[in-house]
Structure 1
């Protein structure tokens, strides 16, 4: 199929036009609809400082034509937030200074750079600073640690957070957001998905609190809303501020909100009342019903109930499929994750009608602990 910008084919816009329209988030113009989704890479130094490997990893996506790059989940404090050994941090001035040249070079290629701030909570399997994990209530994830990221065996039972520790978490996100601003990031994404701490507060199976942070959905979403308010106040209106939401967890891929679309309406409506600039949905397949047969997709529900710009993520490597969600008004942007590992230049390939490589986990998912420097160079060259 040859690229065309001649309008419509069979009454529908061609996917090249849809995916390569400019669109804005807040006051930031994104050159197309392609965004790199956040992916755990465990490639930084032991103390969380991003290194040259991390630098090359992110810059190649910007070279490849993506409009924005969202970092891996990046921990915001030196207490309980780290989730994986060799995970990147943005918790110290040292971290911020190491991120600065990475951000600069990504932006030099015309891409926006957004840092995803993540507190692992009870889903932490490796922490440079402590062996203790915390959660809204005593909580043990239902599956074992993820071995490809250096974990093994059962998660420990996380201890219940005190009110003071909740305040400490909010303070750490705010301080990390300030570091992000100083490092030159265009935006911040709060990780409220995939079973990490903010999602642990949101989910009734991990939040058994009886205070104002537990019980009703309004109470369980409270920490997310307060964090949005606090971070926005700290960084002002110029930085993009987003939040990622999912039903599925990294340790429970089949979990669904028990109230289905009704829960979605309450959660997304509350988020829609905040100063967040976008909502990013993580799903197995963003094009399928999110709450059972005949229901809306997660993206459609978020769009309808929040009124915010929506980033959809989940099995959207096919350009036709991705553009259809945008054309139907279910989302505004698509985030590509595994497919971006196989094709760091996905937008450029799609724009020029070049084939996309198939994702191969065995050859691509190589955390730092398992990759030699010469293998890294070969991997990077193959994926340019």
Structure 2
């Protein structure tokens, strides 16, 4: 059998993680875990992707144990005996199918209340009490009006509690047999809110220039690394854009990005998951290097690209305009991996359409179109 896209099927080692190929299932919120407990259907959902040949699965965002971590009761959590038992089944099923799986630990920070109604007695965790300046966004006006009201800034006690929550979740994940740890540090969520100057206007050691803004996320990374040891790889999702404003940026220059990501790499990040609406967009003027490419070049760490792989429009656009047509940009993915620009490619929506996506790519079969009407809101 002819193997298509051979660069995508080169193995890769990252600490103790041995990957058979460069294809990753990107984290995607599924809201299919009532009460925060992943059930047999969740285990079967992830197992199908492992059986289909995907090299690494990154789970949907998983709540850490903090009152304002995640506001959707159907998002899974990484605490409580019932949820941990559910995750053990997920890990066992994925491993039985020959796969590897990493949980994405999540605290929504300023975006508390965006997914569902929340207890007004719970204060959202915001570095400076700011939701962020609303710009190009898909959030409705009524939510923006509510969320834009300032809250109290985070205290040192808040930060200590949240670091401890991340560490507990990471230790639970390691004990359950997950193959690494991923952190969601993009899209305007908590860790990203420290990196973004618009939501971090603090005047203490946690705010100011790029190095100061990186201190809290780096503290979380370092604490997890100390707790889980040196074997498990740590992934860190970052982005320029925010849910509050798709045109926002944490770094205007490569030099500023180097300061932010360098601090995280020094703290223990092994793989930077560079989230962008289209994986192949140049990150800065004067170069065609992508955001993932810059992350690898500036830090020396591994990098993973994500964004509209195999599709003709980004997720936000497809929400407004309808389903995205299949576009064969896999050759461009392969070219950039083969050139060493980035190491891994994370694919979201096509993994929802086709659990055997890796096999489809290996055999050169036609890509299965993603249909929001068919796939959103249920597991397949």
C-alpha separation in 2, matches of 1:230 and 1:316:
33
Equivalent position SS for 1:181: helix
Instruction: Provide closer, same or farther for how the CA distance between residues 134 and 66 of structure 1 changes in structure 2, counting only shifts above 3 A.
Output: same
Residue 10 of structure 1 corresponds to which residue in structure 2?
Answer: none
Residue 359 of structure 1 corresponds to which residue in structure 2?
Answer: 370
C-alpha displacement of 1:146: 5.5
For residues 306-333 of structure 1, what are the alpha-carbon distances to aligned partners after superposition, in whole Å with 9 as ceiling and x for unaligned?
Answer: 1011111112233212111201211111
Is it true that 1:188 corresponds to 2:188 in the alignment? no
Residue 82 of structure 1 corresponds to which residue in structure 2?
Answer: 70
Residue 31 of structure 1 corresponds to which residue in structure 2?
Answer: 20
C-alpha displacement of 1:173: 0.3
C-alpha displacement of 1:135: 0.6
C-alpha separation in 1, matches of 2:77 and 2:138:
20
Equivalent position SS for 1:169: helix
C-alpha displacement of 1:202: 0.4
Equivalent pair of 2:240/2:251 in contact (CA under 8 Å): no
Q: Taking structure 1 as the reference length, what is the TM-score of the superposition?
A: 0.86
Is it true that 1:344 corresponds to 2:333 in the alignment? no
Is it true that 1:324 corresponds to 2:335 in the alignment? yes
Q: Which of residues 135, 140, 143 in structure 1 aligns to 2:131?
A: 140
* Aligned residue runs from structure 1 range 84-99, under 5 A: 84-99=72-87
Residue 20 of structure 1 corresponds to which residue in structure 2?
Answer: 9
Residue 51 of structure 1 corresponds to which residue in structure 2?
Answer: 39
Equivalent position SS for 2:5: helix
C-alpha separation in 2, matches of 1:162 and 1:257:
23
Q: Which stretch shifts more, 320-329 or 193-202?
A: 320-329
C-alpha displacement of 1:295: 5.2
For residues 261-303 of structure 1, what are the alpha-carbon distances to aligned partners after superposition, in whole Å with 9 as ceiling and x for unaligned?
Answer: 2221212222232322211111111212112353531111101
Q: Which stretch shifts more, 76-85 or 138-147?
A: 138-147
Equivalent pair of 1:59/1:102 in contact (CA under 8 Å): yes
C-alpha separation in 2, matches of 1:75 and 1:269:
26
Residue 105 of structure 1 corresponds to which residue in structure 2?
Answer: 93
C-alpha separation in 1, matches of 2:71 and 2:192:
14
- Show structure 2 runs of 5+ residues with no match: 311-328
Q: Which of residues 198, 206, 231 in structure 1 aligns to 2:224?
A: 231
* Aligned residue runs from structure 1 range 211-230, under 5 A: 211-230=204-223
C-alpha separation in 2, matches of 1:202 and 1:41:
26
Q: Which of residues 257, 262, 265 in structure 2 aligns to 1:269?
A: 262
C-alpha displacement of 1:52: 2.5
* Aligned residue runs from structure 1 range 251-330, under 5 A: 251-292=244-285, 294=287, 296-317=289-310, 318-330=329-341
Equivalent position SS for 1:134: coil
Q: Which of residues 157, 160, 164 in structure 2 aligns to 1:167?
A: 160
For residues 173-224 of structure 1, what are the alpha-carbon distances to aligned partners after superposition, in whole Å with 9 as ceiling and x for unaligned?
Answer: 0011111112211111111111100000000010111111101111110111
C-alpha displacement of 1:128: 7.2
For residues 132-183 of structure 1, what are the alpha-carbon distances to aligned partners after superposition, in whole Å with 9 as ceiling and x for unaligned?
Answer: 3121011225277868xxx973353443111110010000000111111122
C-alpha separation in 2, matches of 1:119 and 1:127:
16
